[in-house]
Amino acid sequence: MPSISPVILILGAGPNIGQSCARAFAAKGYRVAVASRNNTATADQLHIQSDFSKHYSVIDAFATIKRELGTPSVVVYNAAAVTFTPPKDPLSTPLESFINNLNINTTSAFVAAQQAALGFAELPETASKTFLYTCNILNEIIIPPMLDAGVGKSGAAHMIRSASEAYKEKGFKLYYCDERKADGGAVYGAIDGDASAKHYVELSEGKTQRPWQQTFVKGARYKAFPSA
C-alpha cells in the first residue's frame, strides 16, 4: 500500500550520487525507490529494473513506484551516457551510440520530468514537488571527445530552464544541478556524492523555485559563475 511518508524516485542509482541521495532523503523520512539496470538497492529501498535508453522504461518506473509506495514528490534523474571519440574526430560517434546516449541523457530525462509533473499535480500543496537533474558543465563548454554527452546535456538544460519558468506558479521546482570547483571549473570525475545529496535535499526543502541552473561547490552550496 502507498505510504503517507514522502516518496523519492531516483532514476539511475549508482554508488556515488544515487546512493548518497537515497541515504540523505531516507534520513529525512522519505521512502526511497531506486530505478537502475543493476540492483543496487539496500533492504529498505524499492528497486525498479530500468533501462533509460528506452523511454517507456521511465513510464514503467513511475507506474511501479506509484503502485508500491505512492506518488513521488521528489524525482532525481541521475542517469548519463557518453561514447568517447578521438579529440580531432567528434563526428566519428557511431549513430547507434549517439541515439542510445541521447535517449539516456535527454529523451528519458524529458519523460521523467513529464511524469514527475503529472504526479506533482496530484500532490497536496505542502509536498516538495521537486525534479533534480544531475548534470555537468557540458551545456556551457565544448569537449570534443564527449560530443554526444554535450548534445544531450545541452538539450536537457534547455528543457529544464523552460519548464522551471513555466511551472513555478504551480509550485513545481526543476533544477539542472552541476557541482563545480571553487573557481567555477568542472569537477569531472571527482563528483562528491554526499555534497550533491546535501544540496539536493536543500533544494527539495525550498518553498519556491531558485535559479534553474544550480552550480554548487562542495561546502559552499549554490554559487553563480559567469558562463564558461
Cell of 23: 541515504
Residues ≥6 apart with Cβ < 8 Å to 214: 175, 176, 177, 178, 199, 203, 222
The question of whether 66 is a catalytic residue gets the answer no
Q: Which helix (H) or strand (E) holds 74?
A: strand 74-77
> Of these residues, 66, 153, 198, 218, which one is catalytic?
153
Under 8 Å between Cβ of 73 and 120: yes
List phi, psi (to 5°) of 50: -145, 155
Under 8 Å between Cβ of 85 and 142: no
- The position carrying cell 516538495 is 128
**Residues designated catalytic:** 153
